[in-house]
Structure formats: structure tokens, C-alpha cells
Amino acid sequence: MTIDSVVRELRGALHASRVRDGALELSLYARDASVIEGKAAAVCFPVSTEEVQAAVRIAVAHGRAVVPRGSGTGLSGGAVPRGSDGLDPVVIVTTKMDRILEVNAEERVAWVEPGVLNLDLTNAISHLGLHFAPDPSSQSACTVGGNVANNAGGPHCLAYGVTSAHVLAVEVVLPNGETALLGGLDPEPPGYDLRGLFVGSEGCMGIATRIAVRLTPSAPAIKTLLADFTSLDDAARTVGDVIAAGVIPAAMEMMDARFVEVIERSLHVGFPPDAAAMLLVETDGLAAGTEAAASAIRSIAEANGARSVRVAADAEERALLWKGRKSAFGAIALIAPNYYLHDTVVPRTRLAEVLRRINDIADAHQLALLNVFHAGDGNLHPLLLFDKRVAGTMERVLDAGKQIIRVCVDAGGVLSGEHGIGLEKTEFMPWIFSGSDLDAQARARCAFDPEHRFNPHKVLPAGSQCGDLRSIPRGAWT
């Protein structure tokens, strides 16, 4: 069946203006924030659960795959459209489902639609002394639905936990167009924890259409410290020593020399431009506790050779320091037109050694590299800079990326801390999972999506998809 009849039916079920199949729209929705591209047959923008159900039923009835999408800020190709059976997929974008449906300040719960932007949610409830704790650096642009699907993290997830710790229940549209409510508001909902399975499922098990999120009380006192080092090793050692001392800061971010220099040059936030490495550390809670934690962090940083440790004097200075940390990606345009942001995790004790090896890999591939990352939980974000118009560059970037991931895995790390597997890392999954591990994951996916209609080719490596499972013996990948 041609795509014309799919588009006609979608326009009948949604509104004509909310179903797009023009060349410009298709090319815009062929990508997310990664370097990967795909191809969509049509893009639609439902405004209700019923419209999502209708769009899913139509796509599936026409043999098309469905790709859920929020704001498209994902960095692993999760929302990049890849179809199946030679047919391009229908992309279902949730950004018009952006209502905060209910806020219960007493119970600290809000029901939201999936297209609500992360920062909009926090801004809408801050007058109640509450916030939504997961705070990805992209929080002004990414959706809560995308956060749920990728189990997003952020600087303050060191103390507060990643998205999965803040989602109580999810209403999901399944591949047959029916809805199911996963989880619940009770502290211990009975039955299997399908909410836990769905969070982080990267759009492969259905589309979240309503989400109950936990709201976190905003801390009465916050101390933000900026420690500046003349060596990367000293900064890395400080990270391990702070945690070993039993102090868990709300956030502990590390920035390397090149990053600091670029940010200071473009944003003038007050970073010492000649620092070899810097730590941005935040403690929050009751005033006396934050004071004690800040003083312990200062002593540990100084014992490790910090050249200076500055405490933000007021909310304005704190906001400026965080602006420096979170505006990294815009500032990078000053030095290169393209970047590839990686996401891996290593044990904190191996931070310094792994960073050295990553820098060597970038040098060997003649690529500039910046490091800015959630150091407290060992979540590295090596950022390769390049100009993709230069012939042969992309091959070097991809090879360097693969080597970086390998080094992190060999150091006892994992493939992703927060950006997900998407299309980017499917081939590396056997590096950390056995055949039977992958088999269990594929069977769980199959239970939600037996025909493999939702976001095909994502997360699991080729050969472990639902349809193939029937013929592949258990343990075939081992």
C-alpha cells in the first residue's frame, strides 16, 4: 500500500495540519541530535492519547513501523526513523501533548503529558517549593517522555537518582493501539514492575502518553563550589576522595582544560582560563549540613592540590557557573562545526587513567577532544570536534568513538550512562551482555511488541530482534 493512503487515513483521524509528508519536514525528522540519519514516510503530531492510538493503529495496519519522538535531542539515534520490510516508518511526535494535567503538592506527584519540557515542569511547580529532579543539560529542550524513554540523567542525579527513580506510573499506547497503565501511585504497586521495564525502553515497547512523576522538595540551602586544578589527575583523585569520605554532593561535574578555555572565551562566566581541570560541585540540604559538606569538599580538593576553591556568593553567581557548564554545546560552534558527544561510564577509581587513554585516542585520530562530564558517577562525555565536510573525517570520528567505548568497557565500565543505546551502540551490546542476557531482553521486548513494530533496529543488535528469536537458539551470541 502506498504512503498516500496512510497519510490520507492519518489526516482523517488527526487534523490535516498535524500530519506532514513534505520533503522539508521529512528531512527535519530524519535526524535527532546524533550524527545518524534515517528516513520517515510521514510525521504526525497527535494531541491526545486517542490520537496516538489512532495513528498507531493506522501505521500498523499498513505494515509500517512506528517511531516515537519527543524533541529529538537524543544523542544515540533513538528517534532516527528506520523502517522494516522495505517500508519507511511513521514518526509520532509528542511535542503537542504538552499539558501538565494535575499537580498534587501534598503527595508530591504530578501527572503530565509526554511532550512537557523538562524545565517547564520544574518552572511550573517551583512556587510550591518542588522540582522535577532529573536535570539533563538539555532540560530546556527535551521532553519528559524522552527522559522516561531514555532513563535520562543529569548533573544532580548523583544524589537524586536518574529518571527511573522519579517515575511512578506510565500510560502507554501499545502496538495494537490499546492502552495499558504501568506502575501506580502506591508506594509498592502489586504485580510485575512493568513501569521499571518501560523506563529506559527507548521507544521500543510503546508510546508513553501520560506520566506520573515524583516531585522533589527543593533544598532550603545550596552551596556551589568551583575548584581549579593544575592537573587532571588531581581533579580526578578529588572526585574519588570526596565520595570515599562519605560526602555525596548533589552534583560533581568535571571540565577539562580545553572545555574551560572555550567556555570562558565565549561566555565569560569566570572560569580560570588556564586551569588544567575544574570541578563544579554542589551540596544541598539543611544549611548546617551543606556548610559541613562544602567545608569537607574544600579540604579534600586542597589536599589534592587545588589551586583555588571558590564558593558562589549568591544565586546569580551560581546560575552563571551552571550556565558555563550547561551551555557547552553552543559554545563549541566557535571552534568546530560538528561534534560527536559520547556517553560511557567507568569506575571512579579509573577516571584519570581512562581520560589519558581517551585523549591519546583522539590525538592518534587527529581529532580535537573536550571532556565535560558527570564525574561523581563516573559518567564520561568525551566530545570529539570535527568538520564533516572534510573527506574521510567521519570515518576517523567513528573509529575513535569505537576505541573510546572499548577502553571504557575494558576498564570495567558500561556502554551508556544516560543517552541510551539507540542505533549508535547496538553492535557493542555483546561487549557487555552474554547471549542469554540479550535473549532475555529481546523476549521482554517481544512481550510488548511481538510484531516488532515499535522503533525497529534500536537497542538490540541485529540477530536478536523478536522475529529472529524464533530461529536463533538460546545463547547463540555467547
Pick 64 or 419: Cβ nearer ligand FAD: 419
**Pick from 20, 237, 419, 445: which binds ligand FAD (CB under 6 A)?**
419
**Which residue, chain included where needed, has cell 566530545?**
383
Which of the ranges 151-159, 244-252, 278-286, 438-446 carries the binding residues for ligand FAD, by CB under 6 A?
151-159
Count interface residues toward ligand FAD (CB under 6 A): 36
- Interface residue with ligand FAD among 9, 21, 32, 282 (CB under 6 A) is 32
**Which region among 152-160, 256-264, 296-304, 433-441 touches ligand FAD (by CB under 6 A)?**
152-160
* Minimum separation from the CB atom of position 181 to ligand FAD (A): 14
Segment interacting with ligand FAD, rule: CB under 6 A, options 39-47, 148-156, 176-184, 249-257: 148-156
Contact mark string toward ligand FAD, 291..330, x via CB under 6 A: --------------------------------------x-
- Smallest separation, CB 285 to ligand FAD (Å): 22
Site for ligand FAD in 196-215 (CB under 6 A): 202-203, 207-208
- Cell numbers found for residue 20: 506532514
Closest approach, Cβ 306 to ligand FAD, in A, equals 25
Cβ proximity to ligand FAD, 93 vs 294, nearer residue: 93
Judged by beta carbon, residue 138 or residue 465, the one nearer ligand FAD is: 138
Q: Verify binding: residue 344, ligand FAD, rule CB under 6 A.
A: no
Binding mask 64-103 for ligand FAD (x = CB under 6 A): ---xxxxxxxxx--xx--------------x---------
Q: Considering only 142-150, 227-235, 250-258, 272-280, which stretch makes contact with ligand FAD by CB under 6 A?
A: 142-150
In this complex, which beta carbon is closest to ligand FAD, that of residue 18 or of residue 307?
Answer: 18
Least gap, CB of 228 to ligand FAD (angstroms): 23
Residues of this chain that interact with ligand FAD (CB under 6 A) are 32-33, 67-75, 78-79, 94, 114, 136-138, 142-143, 145-147, 149-150, 152-154, 202-203, 207-208, 329, 418-419, 455
